[in-house]
Amino acid sequence: MEKVASMIFNERLDALGDSLELMGREVTRERLLELVALESSILDAVPQAIVGLHNRRIIFANNAIKQTFGWDREDLIGKSVTQLYRNREESEEIARYFYSTLKRQRTFVNEFPCRHKDGRDILCRMRAARIGDRLTQRRIVITYEDITDKRRAEEDLKRSHKQLRELSAHLQSAREKECARIAREIHDELGQSLTALQMDVAWLGDQLPADFSHLVEKTHRMEQLVDATIDSVHRIITELRPIMLDDLGLTAAIEWQAEEFQNRSGIDCHVYVDCRDECIEKDLATAVFRIFQETLTNVARHSRATAVWARLTQEGGVLNLEVTDNGKGITRKQAEDPRSFGIIGIRERVGLWNGCMRITGKSRQGTTVSIQIPIRGEVSQA
């Protein structure tokens, strides 16, 4: 064992000697021993595990090898580097990859599966470098960083993001379905009864003798009340589920919503729409419509604007919606506030369609919300 250790040590001295020779320096054996001691103390100060290989044999290892792989360095010196991998085949493959890559370049970094002494699989980020300028001596040094926990945490985070996105999509679709169901019921139950009532009241009015003026007057007011109630029911149904979105498509629904908004808020609403409804699937149309509704509601509630400009266009397989107002302007803090649930809702809807969103404001000049969503099945010409 000692013989092997001293042989390996000599190899290590040779490696160092070769490197110095390449640098054009002649050194004595004593000086080399000093340098090896210095090299060891530097290697031990590094937190990552480091091994030096000659062919596939380990000729040196630092202290951190124990932390990463569980091995004492003395156990590894002189052994094949296979010890650090999951099996011989994989180890051969990795070694082949290392040597062939290092022929072409001085260093490289990659991630490989490794194995701890206790049999656990670990994932390491490995940085390999040639010792010396050329690879003729087949000596390399490898740094191992255990990234198993980090990678697992990243994957957990990705998974929980995905679950949250799915949950949000599910909730939104359930909400749309529920709205559609309520709209249908109101229409069928309340709408039909009101129409019947409207006809009955009209009939009653017709039956009354003209000299019963106070009763005629009363039925007339009842007719007006029933008409107003029918209008309210229509409005509620349309708000729950804009029928034109189903019947006439996104373009008409956006134009209708803009007009409604203008009439109700008194804020001028200019719309420019240039997109082909047949390219936009129903759920995407609903998402864009709801986003448009939320931005307009925000303009009415927060902006103190006198005008708003909306553009819905389709370019190179991407649907763009931009809504700009001339109000007080949203601040960055408001736009990024984790309690801004309206804006978070827009961002989530856009995210579900793999789109992106920007919201910017300039003090007393206005706010712009702009979203881009790729249209599935449309080839991007961008």
Ligand X SMILES: Nc1ncnc2c1ncn2[C@@H]1O[C@H](COP(=O)(O)OP(=O)(O)OP(=O)(O)O)[C@@H](O)[C@H]1O
Does 327 participate in binding ligand X (rule CB under 6 A)?
yes
- Report whether 350 contacts 373 (CB < 8 A): yes
Minimum Å gap between C-beta 235 and ligand X is 20
Nearest-angstrom CA–CA distance, 15 and 333? 59
Strands 139-146 and 268-274: unpaired
Using the contact rule CB under 6 A, the part of the chain among 79-87, 99-107, 192-200, 320-328 near ligand X is 320-328
* Interface pick for ligand X out of 82, 251, 286, 367 (rule CB under 6 A): 367
| Interface pattern 332-351 for ligand X (x via CB under 6 A) | --x-----xxxx--------
**Partner from Mg ion, ligand X, none binding residue 237, C-beta < 5-8 Å depending on class:** none
**Partner from ligand X, Mg ion, none binding residue 303, C-beta < 5-8 Å depending on class:** ligand X
Does 357 participate in binding ligand X (rule CB under 6 A)?
no
**Partner from ligand X, Mg ion, none binding residue 334, C-beta < 5-8 Å depending on class:** ligand X
User: How long, in residues, is the chain?
Assistant: 382
Does 314 participate in binding ligand X (rule CB under 6 A)?
no
Minimum Å gap between C-beta 377 and ligand X is 31
* Interface pick for ligand X out of 251, 298, 314, 326 (rule CB under 6 A): 298
- Report whether 228 contacts 252 (CB < 8 A): no
Using the contact rule CB under 6 A, the part of the chain among 151-159, 250-258, 301-309, 350-358 near ligand X is 301-309
Of residues 43 and 343, the one with the C-beta less far from ligand X: 343
Does 265 participate in binding ligand X (rule CB under 6 A)?
no
Residue nearest to ligand X (CB): 342
Nearest-angstrom CA–CA distance, 216 and 212? 6
Of residues 137 and 334, the one with the C-beta less far from ligand X: 334
Q: Which residues bind ligand X (CB under 6 A)?
A: 298-299, 301-303, 325, 327-328, 330, 334, 340-343, 367
